[in-house]
Structure 1
């Protein structure tokens, strides 16, 4: 979707699907609530954090999930959001270089791991004795777009470091986000995919067959920051909640790693 000029809060809600993903009544009650733009891999965990915040009697944050690349472009186009959680540092760097985050509010937030998944119940030896290039090189391999989306960039770096990229690059099926890559595997459109460990954990339709070494790719870090476009009085309190012990415990419950 091409967006020109400044995007107001209502247009953002309609344009990137917040209303479709939010529980009933959230959008109607969202006046003054923080609008959080979060990486697609945070769907379950950030939703749980928003629910926990609402249980404190605060306006429930409205969450929009997409690839970090897409969200960063929305912010650059003038999205009137409050918080941004990227799945990597480079997309947050891009937003910060444009002068769009509040100084002093950027913080390293969460970590994750990369895993190879396949449809649950699939047959065939996928154990550690099978070389990675042979395991993944025989058919489509689902990845988030390795040219733009953090999960795909981490995956390509790992495959290059492990000597498997040349065997798979011609067979990569690109998803617009890590959840799109996961969906290819869930539907059986690809026999294998590389996603975050938290994505594999969130799905009942795939099984994890291999964990890729942390040393084979840049550290997976999710930075969090408040945006200068923020208008919600709850934006900063919610940011602090996410970074605090109670907030971090929620994300650990969903498999994210502390930094």
Structure 2
């Protein structure tokens, strides 16, 4: 009996110790374990004209920010804005157009306090370096030798909108309409000229700077179109808002500005 009593006493002490130990947190309030050096894949939706500049700084940024991986999706700003409206995964939107960013702002799809104008650009007329057109101004686009003039689709491509403004102000849009070849983004416009599918094309100066196959014929006067400004903002549904803010801050830093300027941005 004494042996049984000792066993029962030990069992009771064990139960009491278990009950007096740390209590489980109520459901939904338990502390989540912190993961050291958690990896973040930052999805950046960016205007096609930013392709070379952003790709050039990818490695150095990732090296200086361990755990952050930059993933880009390039395209026309209008189409990228539509993707965000439709719920496509995105952390940061870098637009070549204030108008497309404004639409997302109106629909409360970005964090307005993060919005910043991080760069600018200019509009230029280009032709192939070999056997290209010999005109020297936008006014000369009426030259009958120019049968194909590549421009961005103004409905979705900011460069196309700026081009239409220039040609409207010069009263040339309607008269040239049957010779216009529309690109789905500014890089496609550049490709049309490089491949000889268009005698001339209108792109950003930054795009012209990336190509060894084209030369600039003329730069559009700034009073013929709205200022070409590049706004960036964190997408409201971003799962990595802090990392997105950090990358956007980098683009406005001296180092980021220098990287953009090397590719023809202002």
Q: TM-score, normalised by structure 2?
A: 0.80
1:31: Cα distance to partner? 5.5
Computing the radius of gyration from Cα coordinates, the structure with the larger value is: 2
Matched, 1:78 2:87: yes
199, 203, 219: which one pairs with 1:191? 199
Q: Distance in 1 between the 2:144 and 2:202 partners?
A: 10
Structure 2 residue matching 1:60: 3-state secondary structure: strand
1:113 aligns with 2:122: yes
Structure 1: state its 5+ residue gaps: 1-29
Q: Does 1:93 align with 2:102?
A: yes
Kept after mapping to 2: 8 A contact 1:137/1:167: no
* 1:155-196 residue CA offsets vs partner (Å, 9 max, x unmatched): 010011123223311211111001111111111011010000
Cα pair 2:151 2:186 within 8 Å, conserved: yes
Distance 1:169 1:82, change over 3 A: same
154-163 vs 50-59, which moves further? 50-59
Distance 1:190 1:118 in 2: 8
1:242 to 2:263 alignment = no
CA–CA distance in structure 2, aligned partners of residues 123 and 228 of structure 1: 46
Superposed displacement of residue 228, structure 1: 1.0
Q: 1:203 aligns with which of 211, 214, 220?
A: 211
Gaps of 5+ in 2: 1-37
Once residues 253 and 131 of structure 2 are traced to their aligned partners in structure 1, the CA distance between those partners, rounded to angstroms, is 40
Residues 1-259 of structure 1: pairs in structure 2 closer than 5 A: 32-58=40-66, 59-128=68-137, 131-135=139-143, 138-232=146-240, 233-257=242-266
Mapped partners of 1:131, 1:236: distance in 2 = 43
Tell me the alpha carbon deviations over residues 35-72 of structure 1, each in whole angstroms, 9 at most, x when there is no partner. 11000000011112322211204323111100001100
In structure 2, distance between residues paired with 1:142 and 1:208? 14
Kept after mapping to 1: 8 A contact 2:45/2:73: yes
CA distance in 1, matches of 2:177, 2:92: 35
Structure 1 contact 142–174 (Cα < 8 Å) conserved: yes
Query: How many angstroms does 1:123 deviate by?
Result: 4.6
With over 3 angstroms needed to count, the CA separation of the structure-2 counterparts of 1:124 and 1:173, relative to structure 1, is closer
Number of positions where the alignment pairs a residue of Structure 1 with one of Structure 2:
227
Does structure 2 retain, via aligned residues, the 8 Å contact 1:41–1:199? Answer: yes
What TM-score do you get using the length of structure 1 for normalisation?
0.82
- SS of match in other structure, 1:35: strand
Measured after TM superposition, the shift of residue 136 of structure 1 is 7.5
Shift of 1:131: 4.0
CA distance in 1, matches of 2:118, 2:250: 12
Q: Is the 8 A contact 2:133 2:199 kept in 1?
A: no
